[in-house]
């Protein structure tokens, strides 16, 4: 099973799913700080890294190496939390300590697909930066 | 006079690394240097320099707290503040971090404004590197020159490797091993860097040997062996007319890296401390890399076996102090081996 990095769609429409996937306050704070282009670059980088991370995760699952699986999930959680991908961060917490099988991989792939679209600007804005 | 601060950021996750970089660079007069492999960073610790550092807490191989402890063990870096970018967990023990010398701990997701406020405050507290426009222009020129120097030496090392039919990164790895030994011997930062660059040219004299000799498989005749040993003098002659201290060091290494501590080496049969230190360091690094690489006549030895060989021959073939320094730097050596593998046949085909 090979993971393909999805195309990033910055001009996506608002979907009800966005609010479930992204932490709006975090996203707006990042947008205010690094700009639209910076945010897009970060999300692109995040997805570009996924094939490597998933390969490492699958190899560790196959080798029954719980420690490496845990470390890979922790790394994923860190990046997800920085980017405001709240549902992905929550999923990594759930998956830590679960049985070592490929359902971990499948659930992450499904969640990553939901993180493909960057929510548009019309999400509620956070307060101005001090 | 405007202060100018260099911030070293280490995070194994590239997304987090890029984000921290963007956040810090929004501060005027702060520049960043990024690292995603903490063990590779440690392997070059003799050359590491910064005004302030930010380390991720969770990283494979070594965590941010331990990295902080190692950095602060270097006298040159002992007073430089370190910020730890930690996870969300509230129960996480900050005491260990403080004890390791971490100045501040920030929790994920890191707030950009908070991060900048904290590092600005820490930078002011160290209050150094006040550089005016002219000094900054000079510093930037010097760093550009240093960058050029890196490129010349890396490219020359690769050229020397091709001529010597080295398929992989032998020359570059060996330079890094030399820098680890130099650091463990307590040599200054500039010397570590100079050795790393100059050692890559240790076998450049082989470019002056006939093709038939370099490509010969099997045992060399007495005459061929004598000719092969000449690569030390040829390399020295190629490099020694240079004015640049780096090239003169390279000449020194080319000439002396086959001398032996007991005085039975070549070309001058120098003994003990009569052999220049750079040559003694390079001898250890060169043999270790040859042992751990695949050669037409042998398989690659494990790191442990190669280290045992060095230890068994300390005091005969090698300077015991250099072998001891090499042994102390084993973690860094392991990181270099891991990060700079020789290309196998598949790799070459794909290129």
- B:96-155 residues touching chain A, CB 8 A cutoff: 108-113
pLDDT band at A129 (very low <50, low <70, confident <90, very high): very low
Residue A128: its pLDDT value, please? 47
For chain A, domains (ranges, CATH) are 17-114 (1.20.120.160)
pLDDT score, position B347: 35
Beta bridge partners of B85: B56, B106
Question: Is residue B60 less than 8 Å (CB to CB) from chain A?
Answer: yes
> Measured between beta carbons, which residues in chain A are less than 8 angstroms from residue B13?
49, 75, 78-79
**DSSP type of residue A4:** P
pLDDT of residue B259: 97
| Alpha-helical segments (H) within chain B | 14-25, 38-43, 64-72, 94-99, 112-126, 133-163, 170-184, 189-198, 211-214, 222-229, 231-239, 245-256, 277-292, 303-312, 320-328, 330-339, 345-350
The predicted model gives B268-294 an average pLDDT of: 95
What number does CATH give the domain B136-350?
A: 1.10.3210.10
Residue A96 CB-density burial (10 A; 0-12 exposed, 13-18 middle, 19+ buried): middle
Residues of B with catalytic roles: 206
Look at A82 and B22 and tell me if their CB atoms are within 8 Å: no
Residues of B in contact with A81 (CB under 8 A): 88, 108-109
Model confidence at B216: pLDDT above 80: yes
Q: What percent of chain B has pLDDT over 90?
A: 59
Q: How far is CA B173 from CA B149, B181, B287, B309, B341, in A?
A: 17, 13, 12, 19, 9
* Alpha-carbon gap, residue B29 to B21, rounded angstroms: 14
β-partners of residue B86 are: B107
Closest Cα in chain B to A70: B60
Per DSSP bridges, beta strands B52-56 and B5-10 are parallel
The CATH H-level superfamily of B2-131 is Response regulator (3.40.50.2300)
For residue B109 the two structure tokens come to 């997701």
Per domain, the residue ranges of chain B are 2-131, 136-350
> Of B92-101, B106-115, B230-239, which range is least confident?
B92-101
Higher pLDDT, B349 or B217: B217
Taking CA atoms, what residue in B is nearest to A83? B109
Q: For A80-103, write each residue's pLDDT tens digit.
A: 999 999 999 999 989 887 878 888
| Gap from B215 CA to chain A (nearest CA, Å) | 39
Q: Pick the residue of B9, B11, B13 with the most A CBs within 10 A to test the interface with A by mutation.
A: B13
B1 pLDDT higher than 70? no
Give this complex's ipTM.
0.79
With CA atoms as reference, the chain A residue closest to B63 would be A71
Element (H, E) at B107: strand B104-107
User: Is pLDDT above 50 for A125?
Assistant: no
CB of B88 within 8 Å of any CB in chain A?
A: yes
B1 vs B107, which has greater pLDDT?
A: B107
What pLDDT, in 10s, does the model give residues B183-204? 999 999 899 999 999 999 999 9
User: Is pLDDT of A53 > 70?
Assistant: yes
């Amino acid at each position: 099973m090979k993971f393909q990095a999805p195309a990033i769609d910055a001009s996506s429409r608002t979907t009800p799913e966005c609010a479930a996937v992204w932490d709006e306050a975090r996203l707006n704070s990042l947008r205010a700080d690094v700009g639209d282009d910076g945010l897009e670059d970060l999300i692109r980088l995040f997805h570009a890294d996924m094939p490597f991370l998933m390969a490492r995760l699958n190899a560790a699952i196959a080798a029954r190496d719980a420690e490496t699986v845990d470390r890979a999930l922790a790394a994923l959680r860190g990046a997800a939390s920085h980017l405001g991908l709240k549902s992905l961060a929550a999923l990594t917490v759930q998956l830590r300590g679960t049985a070592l099988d490929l359902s971990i991989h499948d659930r992450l792939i499904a969640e990553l697909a939901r993180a493909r679209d960057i929510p548009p600007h019309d999400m509620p804005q956070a307060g101005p930066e001090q | 006079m405007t202060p100018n601060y260099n911030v070293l950021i280490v995070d194994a996750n590239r997304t987090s690394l890029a984000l921290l970089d963007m956040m810090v660079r929004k501060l005027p007069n702060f520049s960043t240097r990024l690292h995603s492999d903490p063990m590779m960073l440690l392997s070059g610790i003799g050359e590491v320099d910064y005004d302030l550092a930010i380390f991720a807490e969770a990283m494979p191989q070594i965590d941010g707290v331990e990295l902080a402890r190692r950095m602060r063990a270097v006298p040159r870096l002992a007073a430089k503040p370190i910020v730890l970018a930690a996870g969300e967990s509230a129960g996480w023990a900050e005491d260990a971090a403080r004890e390791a010398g971490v100045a501040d701990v920030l929790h994920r997701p890191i707030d950009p404004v908070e991060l900048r406020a904290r590092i600005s405050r820490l930078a002011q507290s160290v209050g150094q590197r006040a550089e005016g426009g002219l000094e900054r222009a000079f510093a930037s020129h010097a760093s550009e020159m240093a960058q050029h120097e890196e490129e010349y030496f890396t490219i020359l090392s690769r050229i020397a490797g091709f001529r010597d039919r080295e398929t992989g990164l032998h020359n570059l790895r060996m330079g890094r091993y030399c820098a680890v030994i130099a650091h463990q011997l307590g040599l200054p930062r500039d010397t570590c860097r100079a050795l790393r660059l100059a050692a890559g040219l240790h076998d450049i004299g082989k470019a002056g040997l006939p093709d038939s000799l370099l490509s010969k498989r099997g045992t060399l005749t007495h005459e061929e062996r004598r000719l092969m040993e000449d690569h030390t003098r040829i390399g020295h002659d190629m490099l020694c007319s240079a004015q640049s201290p780096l090239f003169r060091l390279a000449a020194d290494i080319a000439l002396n890296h086959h001398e032996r501590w007991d005085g039975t080496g070549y070309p001058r049969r120098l003994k003990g401390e009569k052999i220049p230190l750079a040559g003694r360091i390079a001898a250890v690094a060169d043999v270790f890399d040859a042992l751990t690489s695949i050669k037409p006549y042998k398989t690659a030895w494990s790191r442990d076996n190669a280290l045992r060989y060095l230890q068994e021959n300390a005091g005969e073939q090698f300077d015991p102090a250099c072998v001891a320094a090499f042994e102390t730097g084993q973690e860094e050596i392991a990181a270099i081996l891991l990060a700079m593998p020789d290309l196998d046949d598949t790799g070459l085909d794909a290129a």
